[in-house]
Structure formats: C-alpha cells, structure tokens
Amino acid sequence: MKIAILSNGTGNYSTKRLKEVAAARGHDVKVIKYRECYASIEKNNPTVSYRGEDLAKYDAIIPRIASYMTKYGTAIVRQLEMQGVYTLSSSLAINRSRDKLRSMQLLAKAGVGIPKTVFSRNSTDIDDLLEKLGGTPVIIKLARGTHGNGVVLAESKKAAKSVLQAFYLTNDDGTNVLLQEFVKESAGTDIRAFVVGGRVVASMKRQSLDDDFRSNLHKGGEGTTIKLTEEERKMAIKAARAMGLNIAGVDMMRSERGPLILEVNASPGFGIEKVTGRDVATPIIEYIEQNAKRGHKKDKVGA
C-alpha cells in the first residue's frame, strides 16, 4: 500500500515512528510536507501536487497538521478527499477539534461530560457569566489556543474582567473566548487517552511540576502511566466519536462528578509511547490496513 504522511516535521518523533512502522509492515511510505503542496481546482478534476508528483496515486494519507497551519493543511486534505484518497482523519473532523467552542458544543450534544462552559463577546456580562460558573476562580481560554497557550486562570472577578477585555481587544478576528469552571480537585493534573479506531490503546496522567494549573507536557508537565476506569475509557471513545476522529488524543480530568473532557486532539503526539512503553504507531497503521482499501476511491467527498 502507498501511504503518505502529511507532516512538516520530518524529524518529528511521531512522524518517524509512523514511517518506520509502515515501512516495516511492507508499505511504500513517504513524508509529504503539506505546506509545499499545491492544489489545482477545476471542473471534475481536483488535484494536489507535491514537487511535481500527483498525490492521488496514494492509497491513504495520515494528516499530521500543525495547529497554526490548520486552514491550509485541511484545505489540502479536503482536496485529496475530493479525489477519493482515503484519509485517516477527515478535514471536517480536524477543523471541528481545533475550534474549542465548536468541539465543546458537539461534545455536550453527544452527552459527553465537560466542564461548565460559557462564552460571550461582552465583558460587561461578567457578573452573570461568573454566576453561571459558580464564581471564581475560572479558566479563560481562546477557542483556538493549543498546547496550553491562550489559557489563563483568573482568581478574582476583577482579574477575569481584565483578561476578557485584553483577549477581546487583541482578537479582532472574531476568535471566541471561553470561560470554564475551575475544577479544584484536578488542578495541575489531567489524563491523556490515546484512541485509535474506537479503542483506547494507551493512557497517561500528566502532572504539573510547579504551581501551574496546566499539565501539558509542552509546558513542562510530567507524564506517568495510569489505568483508566471503565467510565473514563468509554468517555474517551465517545468523545473521539463525537468529533468524527479515527485517531485522537482525548484529554480529561477527574472530578467529583466523574470524568470531564477538556479537549480532543486530532494530531496527538507520540510522547505517550515514551511514558507508558505502549506502541501507538502500530495500531494506527493496522487501522489503515483494515480500512483504506475499503474506502479508497469509493466516494468522492464534497465540501
């Protein structure tokens, strides 16, 4: 099978692991720098090219789209979908997961537990907003932040109002700002469940090493292996399904009222392998083997 990994980080650990596993299983695999791809749009003939090569010849693609390249990256994925190329993660699902407001709305609709969340473009509503969340402290985050960036803990009403005003002032592009309840019992700790094809293949707990309320490994958090409860496992799978993702890193916290989903990541890093010793690359390639030929060229995907 010919497999293309859409990634700009050819030296990235996740990309290297996917390539080595696919090659070891006998596949013809190539890393494609999607930022260098270009699309030709004409009637009944959508094409994507990379250094003069037509990507329609690939049986499957694995999108590893960086958050800051979401619009361009998903446009390339969408064009390949229109050609009938099988994609592990659809352009629609990637876009859903990258918009925190949209993802929270979809998770809530699917009956997935999430922190209490409100959003508004008017900081004068702060009293009512905080009342709906049960008061301060509250988490304030940009809808398109990632790796813990664009996330602030406001410990007082005055601080919350100041942060909101600053976010609104510096985000004139219409980016939504969310306010979420602060779950004290889970401060500085969360759980990452790695979901592939409707099953959890690895899980870890991430703990902040200082007084930072964020536990992201990108922020210096420490990961340790953890065993999920059955409820947590089912919630992670349900969250990935709500986003329409075949592969997902589902972040959750443990609260007094059960697991709460924080985020669903469409391009989860493979650092979880180093923490847990579990192989997550092989289940991904196996999933493609089982599903790509079935879906390849079957249907042209519309916009």
Please give the share of the chain, as a percent, with pLDDT higher than 90.
61
**Which residue is it, tokens 């401060």?**
187
Cis peptide before 63 (omega within 30 of 0): no
Ramachandran assignment for 220, one of left (phi > 0), alpha (psi -120 to 50 degrees), beta (any other): left
Determine the pLDDT at residue 172.
55
pTM for this entry: 0.85
Specify the fold of 117-182.
Dna Ligase; domain 1 (3.30.1490)
Task: Give me the architecture of the 2-89+284-295 domain, per CATH.
Answer: 3-Layer(aba) Sandwich (3.40)
Report angle CA 189, 65, 251 to the nearest 5 degrees.
Answer: 20
Amino acid 203 reads: S
Task: Give tens-digit pLDDT for 50-96.
Answer: 999 999 999 999 999 999 999 999 999 999 999 999 999 999 999 99
Determine the pLDDT at residue 162.
83
Average of per-residue pLDDT across 93-111: 94
**Domain range summary for the chain, segments of one domain joined by +:** 2-89+284-295, 98-113+186-266, 117-182
Amino acid 265 reads: N
What is residue 156's DSSP assignment? S
Determine the pLDDT at residue 164.
78
Question: Is 98-113+186-266 a domain of CATH 3.30.470.20?
Answer: yes
Determine the pLDDT at residue 297.
46
- Cα(251)–Cα(30) distance, integer angstroms: 30
Tokens of 222: 């420490």
